[in-house]
């Protein structure tokens, strides 16, 4: 795998603006993909956040393997993060973000009041990688279309303030990656789930990685979905041929239409066609 670099110019600008604005924030909301609790955690953002109160929001909960997710929630809580599981599409637990924030900032608010300072507005910043669901989350929080959304990475290109509550303002920011992924598995995991554009890495490599991962951690899903009985005895390309047989994905002459099969597999992965998944195995 080549070293992955997908860092458009606007991301440099976004990181600079985040550094400038973060000192104004009372709390940080770090939105991560519940399927990728490790791979969707931007190390550059962690450096910028420092010791700011931070609430980790595990989004796309319905798509995630809950057993693996529970491991990662515990992992981050032991590191001192506050956590909340959400689904920005359905709205699950979104209404708890405000009250949870008040709870996290309770001591700060009390200290301010003791000094005679009225804590009028709670200001937060929402951060995350592209396509993790920030805009959808904000729209759900204000119950209207406050931001531009899209099922592709890189839709939001600039920062904008959103009034969530009379005493709660939220700064939306564009999705930001980091200049390079030193861990090749992080790059592949982001590609499999659509967090980076599909043309960032060779799609065949991404699909082979996905199949090898699924064979290791979710073999029964492949067996049941694609009716493959000898999953441990065949290669990823032979699995693709089996999928082609099941779905009738052939080109003239009966040859497997691999481009079509790639799309079938990635669509099934991203739409829960293979059930809830995690592409970050535990580090235990």
Average pLDDT over residues 210-236: 94
Per-residue pLDDT band at 284 (split at 50, 70, 90)? low
Query: pLDDT by residue (tens digit) across 226-280?
Result: 999 888 899 999 999 999 999 999 998 889 999 999 999 999 999 999 999 999 9
Query: pLDDT by residue (tens digit) across 97-136?
Result: 999 999 999 988 888 888 887 777 899 999 988 888 888 8
Q: How many domains does the chain have?
A: 2
Q: Which domain holds residue 218?
A: 202-270
- Of the residues 172, 194, 228, which one is the last residue of a structural domain? 172
- Of the residues 120, 150, 172, which one is the last residue of a structural domain? 172
Per-residue pLDDT band at 179 (split at 50, 70, 90)? low
Residue 184 lies in a domain: no
Find where tokens 């040859």 sit. 255
Average pLDDT over residues 8-18: 70
Q: 156 and 212 share a domain?
A: no
Residue 277 lies in a domain: no
User: Per-residue pLDDT for 149 more than 50?
Assistant: no
pLDDT of residue 283: 62
Report the CATH number at residue 261: 1.10.1580.10
What token pair was written down for 220? 């029964």
Residues whose CB falls within 8 Å of the CB of residue 252, separated by 6 or more in sequence, listed in order:
none
In whole angstroms, what is the distance from residue 46 CA to residue 283 CA? Answer: 19
**Lowest-pLDDT choice from 171-175, 187-191, 206-210:** 171-175
Residues whose CB falls within 8 Å of the CB of residue 5, separated by 6 or more in sequence, listed in order:
179, 180
Mean pLDDT of the chain: 86
Per-residue pLDDT band at 9 (split at 50, 70, 90)? low
Beta strands in 5-73 (DSSP E): 27-33, 54-59
Q: 25 and 157 share a domain?
A: yes
């Amino acid at each position: 795998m080549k070293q992955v670099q997908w860092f458009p110019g606007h991301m440099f600008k976004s990181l600079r603006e985040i550094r400038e604005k973060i000192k104004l924030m009372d709390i940080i909301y770090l939105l991560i993909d519940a399927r990728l609790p490790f791979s969707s955690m931007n190390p550059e953002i962690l450096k910028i956040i420092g010791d700011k109160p931070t609430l980790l929001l595990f989004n796309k909960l319905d798509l995630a393997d809950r057993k693996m997710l529970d491991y990662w929630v515990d992992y981050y809580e032991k590191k001192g993060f506050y956590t909340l599981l959400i689904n920005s599409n359905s709205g699950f637990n979104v209404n708890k973000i405000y009250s949870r924030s008040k709870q996290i900032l309770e001591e700060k608010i009390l200290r301010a009041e003791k000094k005679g300072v009225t804590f009028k507005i709670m200001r937060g910043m929402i951060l995350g990688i592209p396509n993790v669901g920030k805009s959808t989350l904000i729209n759900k929080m204000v119950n209207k279309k406050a931001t531009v959304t899209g099922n592709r990475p890189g839709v939001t290109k600039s920062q904008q303030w959103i009034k969530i509550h009379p005493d709660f303002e939220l700064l939306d920011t564009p999705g930001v990656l980091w200049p390079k992924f030193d861990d090749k598995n992080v790059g592949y995991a982001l590609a499999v789930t659509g967090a980076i554009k599909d043309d960032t890495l060779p799609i065949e490599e991404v699909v082979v990685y996905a199949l090898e991962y699924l064979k290791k951690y979710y073999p029964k899903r492949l067996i049941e979905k694609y009716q493959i009985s000898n999953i441990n005895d065949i290669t990823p390309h032979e699995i693709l041929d089996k999928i082609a047989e099941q779905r009738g994905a052939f080109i003239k002459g009966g040859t497997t239409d691999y481009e079509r099969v790639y799309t079938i597999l990635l669509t099934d992965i991203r739409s829960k066609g293979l059930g809830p998944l995690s592409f970050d195995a535990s580090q235990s």
